[in-house]
Structure 1
Amino acid sequence: MSRSELMAVSLGYALVLTALFTAVIVGGLLVARDALLDDYPPAIRERHGPQSPRGKRTAAVMGLLNALLFVAGMPEYRDYAFHWRVLVPRPVPWPLLAIPGYGVAVGAVSAVAEVLVA
């Protein structure tokens, strides 16, 4: 496959997945406007009030649909060892990996703090 063909196929898949992801989000928000309330900062959640049961159900369905969207596809894409080998170049660029590692650490500390405060 030539480079231009590869780019065209990649762009096509990206556009389809983005359109489907957007359709799930917009469709879910049309069903329940507060479906994504849990993704907002605490001050906004407090101002809005508790999430409705319909919003909770819609958020769960949206999450499930998006998870299925990204997991489904050709079985060959499920070769996780291949993806790991491709994503982690040799030698490993540790300074670049420290950036997402820092984000994970801060996120974990924030999640634990939120659980302890709540």
Structure 2
Amino acid sequence: MILLASAGGNTVPVIARLLAADEDTVRDVIHRFERDRPGLSRWAGGHPRLLSDDDEAFVIQPATTRAVKLGQPFTRWSIRKLTAYRPACPLMNWSRLIRPPRTASIHRS
């Protein structure tokens, strides 16, 4: 019952009042479940990573440096600007990061 109430978005004090339990007990149960739940990945689901660790490090290096210091005539980086700055990197597949522009598709019958 504690886990269901927690999954429903209730806070620990609310759950404790509903179940006439001590707040520490409620926290212990929730923490034990989070730590020991068998067969469930903590980060299950979602979109797979687009960048490997090497790709991420390669992007972060110029992106965390002011563009002016790297000889670029702008003040902020964008993905497109980074692709132009580092076009020939064999480690990086930039096309995975750049989404094509959305186009309106009108279907007429």
In the superposition, the TM-score normalised over structure 2's length comes to: 0.26
> Whose radius of gyration is greater, 1 or 2?
2
In the superposition, the TM-score normalised over structure 1's length comes to: 0.25
Relative to its length, the structure with more helix (as a share) is: 1
